[in-house]
């Protein structure tokens, strides 16, 4: 199947409330929904996060949406996709629309799918995440294709309810980073993120993650950090982060050499 040469137009469906935009759009993808379909919800009652976690959202404070994109049947071509989505979000947050950031604050990325806010004293808090799910299907031409649903959740404005409910990590709002943070409402952020995603996914389809590896590394907040990689609660290895490879694999320096960690059901924490 040839790579797409045109960027698919967006078709946005809005929900006041639903259980999960990813679940709904996956079902729509199986039924033949086209690339560029976007489901946006003001409220999710069963939002999903990575590794089976629940994604919490506060109506009016959190941007929650899912986008459908289609790729040829070549799983290797999808390596690094969650990292590419992170690049798209960082690009969107740099738009002039939102004005200058507060001194000492930086929005960046943590492998493989977290959006972080670093405050002036160097403390990181999670402000967003990406969840990617996919189904194999027959395209309109009868050939098999991979329909990928990209779920994005971003804490736009401060939410005391989310901060109170999340006890296993620090959380914050994107608005904390901007001098005019009050304007960073979900409905204002959505068009900027969608436009950036369209362009970045087109770049990814044409050149893979290798074409935007440098952009990801420039936004990477944990470069050089000492970390522990674990799976199902069991430690796998400790080491120092040395960036990512062109396929999106995390490079970790250990006493026995560089280990490559593939995105999957692994956890990443500083030690």
- The Cα–Cα gap between 11 and 15 comes to 13
Q: Are 153 and 129 in contact (CB under 8 A)?
A: yes
* pLDDT at 248 (0 to 100): 95
Q: Has residue 1 got a pLDDT over 70?
A: no
CA distance 18 to 24: 8
Q: Looking at residues 190-194, what average pLDDT do you find? A: 97
Q: Strands, DSSP E only, in the chain?
A: 11-15, 37-41, 62-72, 106-110, 114-118, 124-138, 144-155, 226-231, 234-244, 250-254, 257-261, 267-270
Structure tokens that stand for 188 in this block: 């204002």
265 pLDDT band (50/70/90 cuts)?
low
CA-to-CA separations, 115 to 108, 155, 158, 259, in angstroms, rounded: 6, 10, 15, 24
Q: Which residue's structure tokens are 């403390």? A: 123
Residues ≥6 apart with Cβ < 8 Å to 255: none
Question: What number of residues does the chain have?
Answer: 271
207 vs 94: CA distance, rounded Å? 23
Continuous H helices in the chain:
21-30, 81-93, 160-165, 186-207, 213-219
How confident is the model over 130-139, as pLDDT tens digits? 999 999 999 8
Contact 115, 152 (CB under 8 A): no
- Predicted local confidence at residue 39, as pLDDT: 98
Residue 209 structure tokens: 């993650």
Tell me the average pLDDT of the chain.
Answer: 91
Strands 250-254 and 62-72: unpaired
- Rounded Cα–Cα distance for residues 127 and 186 (Å): 13
- pLDDT, tens digit (0-9, with 9 covering 90-100), for 197-251: 999 999 999 999 999 999 999 999 999 999 999 887 788 899 999 999 999 999 9
Three-state secondary structure call for residue 206: helix
SS3 state at 208: coil
Render pLDDT for 214-228 as a digit per residue (tens, 0 to 9).
Answer: 999 999 999 999 999
pTM above 0.85, yes or no: yes
């Amino acid at each position: 199947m040839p790579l797409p040469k045109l960027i698919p137009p967006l078709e946005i469906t809005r929900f006041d409330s639903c259980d999960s935009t990813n679940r709904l759009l996956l079902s729509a993808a199986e039924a033949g929904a086209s690339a560029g379909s976007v489901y946006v919800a003001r409220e999710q009652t069963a939002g999903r996060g990575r590794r089976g976690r629940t994604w919490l959202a506060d109506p009016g404070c959190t941007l929650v949406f899912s986008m459908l994109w289609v790729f040829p049947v070549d799983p290797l071509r999808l390596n690094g996709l969650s990292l590419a989505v992170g690049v798209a979000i960082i690009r969107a947050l740099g738009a002039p629309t939102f004005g200058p950031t507060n001194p000492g604050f930086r929005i960046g990325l943590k492998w493989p799918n977290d959006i972080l806010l670093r405050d002036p004293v160097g403390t990181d808090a999670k402000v967003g995440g990406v969840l990617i799910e996919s189904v194999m299907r027959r395209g309109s031409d009868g050939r098999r294709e991979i329909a990928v649903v990209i779920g994005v959740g971003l804490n736009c404005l401060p939410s005391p309810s989310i901060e109170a409910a999340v006890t296993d990590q620090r959380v914050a709002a994107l608005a904390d980073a901007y001098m005019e943070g009050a304007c960073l409402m979900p409905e204002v952020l959505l068009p900027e993120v969608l436009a950036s995603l369209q362009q970045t996914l087109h770049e990814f389809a044409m050149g893979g993650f290798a074409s935007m590896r440098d952009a990801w590394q420039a936004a990477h907040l944990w470069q050089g950090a000492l970390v522990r990689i674990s799976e199902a609660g069991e430690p796998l290895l400790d080491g120092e982060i040395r960036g990512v490879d062109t396929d999106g694999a995390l490079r970790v320096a250990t006493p026995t050499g560089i280990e490559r960690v593939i995105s999957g059901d692994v956890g990443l924490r500083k030690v």
